[in-house]
Amino acid sequence: MYFSRPVSTTLILITFLSLTAFAQTAPTESNTEKNEAREKLETQAYKLLDEAIGEGQALKLWENRALAFAIAGDLYWKKDQKRARGYFRSSADELIQSEIQPKEKSDDLFAEYNFWRQRSPRSVIMLMIAKNDADLALELLKKTRPADIQAAIDAKNLPPNKNVKKNAADMLNEQKNTFLVQQELNLEQQFAIKAAEQDTEKAAKIIRESLDKGVSMSAINLIPKISEKNEDLGKELLGEVVGKLIDSSFAGNPSTELFAAQYLLTQSARPQTNTNNDQPKQIKVSDNDLRAIAEKVADYYLKSTNYQTFFSLSQIMPDLEKYAPSKIAALKQKQQEINKVIPEDARGFQEAFKTLGDPDATSETLISEAKKYPSWQKQQFYNTAVDKAVTAGDSEKIRGLLRREADSKQRDDALEYLDSKLTSKAIKDGKLEDAKLLINKSESQSSKIKMMVDLAIGFEKTNTENGHKNAVSLLDDASEMINQIPESREEVNDIIKVAVGLAIINPDKAFPYLTNLIYMSNDLLTAYALIAKYNKRSGDFRDGEIIFTQFVGVTFAGTGEALGKLAAYDFGKTANLTEQFQRSDIKTLAKFLLVQSIINGDVGLEGNRPNNVIFGSF
């Protein structure tokens, strides 16, 4: 059996955390009975939370203790805000103490470069606090700000000394500092998004205070939300953001402010194509300001000598032609000069980027172009072609085009992606019988299992006797297809999919699946912890304890409702599953996430950016 470490163990824990989700409440229950059942469940959840908090205080790693306190504060917010704020401050204290602890000198360039600071839970914790109290989050953000980040911010506000000659180390350090400031800026301006839900004036205040550090996409994305509630305030804030961009030097590589300026230029200059009512309104910048932004962006490209910055130029060229026509001839000449010095591999990336971003590129064009590129880019071309074809209603046409391509994993994955998109759409549209026919076309067993489970859930939600019979039949068939002793991540996934379906349609049958997967998780975690002991470069364990932020990744998205429903079905049985994890750190984490699913209806760490290794391949 060949597994990549926490990928599989994470999936298994996720299974524990997701299996429940849709256990149905008896339709004959009155509202009073439902409220009483909910109150009882929450009482049990808070009792388990207090148990987890006690265990969390005994964790070895400061980042795990900090995260435990933060989750506790978030979960207690609705019940006891005074207590919640106490937990938030305890979390901040752990972060502060971590900065004064002696640190080993690392020989790792990236560790010195500090690009992996996101391994710290600070940003996760601050966003968790901001969701509940933006003012407290701002206070604690400043208190917990590491000295090197504050120094980078101070240096950014100093006028540049053009007389100083910089060596390679100076330039590397300058680039590192720019990165640190941009990270802090983005975090601070994300607070404003949280604050906007509480108070638009407070959100605008946060954005204004952060503009001294620059402009991030968080600020721009917030403007429509503020405008919807206070149009005049939104206009004022937009004017200040535009002014900041016009005055910017677009420092840094990549430049957050350059990206923000280009986005604002294209988003405002072009007709809005997305009419989804859930999306914020289009940002409208005056023509005079668009001309000023376009001139600024064009001047940046004319001065730049970094070929990488030119990758996005072709996408904004139509907007520059409209708002900075006097610069176009010089820009095209500069682009020709840059093209001569672009390395061959980078040239291919640039061409791929241009083609994938071309709104006029047809599915046929994308399929034809795909063969020019390596496998990972080929997959992008195929999937983009599928997206365009499904939107245009040409699903069978794209299926034929893909089948004519040479056999490859990328082609097979694209066909599976097509089947999945079509089936999901049919289920969403209530065309369950059509979905059945689509499933029969799928050639991938894992894909077929997933679609069968999705369809079974769709039938169950019809709340009819015939729908339930169809659901049970589909799940029985899917159960027959899985390998009970998995030998790959795909086969672990297959078990998880079937278990989720059982949790929705017959929760009692889900528990044996969970128990077996937890036993497998225990074995895998024991093995990986041992390997990590001798692998000093491992970023997932330290001092024998797993690092929570590395373990809980975006894979948890959407699993919380499932877990909460299973707990509602049988809290005692679900909570007892946490005791079956052998490792005390995982046991504590599982308790926190179980309570999180009940109280918040969600599982995960907002803003978490886990190490990509977690999602490595087998």
Tokens 């979390």 belong to residue: 91
C-alpha 177/C-alpha 260 separation (Å) is 19
Per residue in 171-214, pLDDT (tens digit) is 667 777 777 777 787 787 777 777 776 688 878 887 887 787 78
Query: Is the per-residue pLDDT at 416 higher than 80?
Result: yes
The mean pLDDT value for 229-235 works out to: 88
Residue 406 has a CB neighbour count (10 Å cut-off) of: 7
What SS3 class is residue 610?
A: coil
DSSP type of residue 272: P
Q: Which range, of 23-37, 263-277, 297-311, 341-355, averages the lowest pLDDT?
A: 23-37
The mean pLDDT value for 463-477 works out to: 91
CB 510 within 8 A of CB 503: yes
pLDDT over 90 for what percent of the chain? Answer: 24
CB 606 within 8 A of CB 127: yes
Query: Is the per-residue pLDDT at 141 higher than 80?
Result: yes
Q: Which range, of 5-19, 30-44, 391-405, averages the lowest pLDDT?
A: 5-19
Tell me the backbone φ, ψ of residue 188, rounded to 5 degrees. Answer: -65, -40
C-alpha 16/C-alpha 4 separation (Å) is 19
| pLDDT number for residue 187 | 81
The mean pLDDT value for 233-261 works out to: 83
The mean pLDDT value for 580-590 works out to: 90
User: What is the pLDDT confidence band of residue 103, given thresholds at 50, 70 and 90?
Assistant: low
| pLDDT number for residue 584 | 93
Per residue in 420-445, pLDDT (tens digit) is 899 888 888 888 888 888 888 787 88
The mean pLDDT value for 316-326 works out to: 91
Tell me the backbone φ, ψ of residue 546, rounded to 5 degrees. Answer: -75, 145
Closest CA relative to residue 379, chosen from 403, 412, 354, 350: 412
| pLDDT number for residue 74 | 95
Question: Using only C-alpha atoms, what is the Rg of the chain?
Answer: 26
> Taking all residues of the chain, what is their mean pLDDT, rounded to a whole number?
80
What SS3 class is residue 79?
A: coil
Q: Which range, of 161-165, 188-192, 350-354, averages the lowest pLDDT?
A: 161-165
| pLDDT number for residue 533 | 83
C-alpha 312/C-alpha 308 separation (Å) is 9
3-state DSSP of 395-460 = HHHHHHHHHCCCCCHHHHHHHHHHHHHHHHHHHHCCCHHHHHHHHHHCCCHHHHHHHHHHHHHHHH
DSSP type of residue 556: G
Altogether, the residues listed in the chain come to a count of 618
| pLDDT number for residue 90 | 97
CA 43 vs. chain centroid, Å, equals: 31
User: What is the pLDDT confidence band of residue 84, given thresholds at 50, 70 and 90?
Assistant: very high
Q: Which range, of 228-242, 342-356, 385-399, averages the lowest pLDDT?
A: 342-356
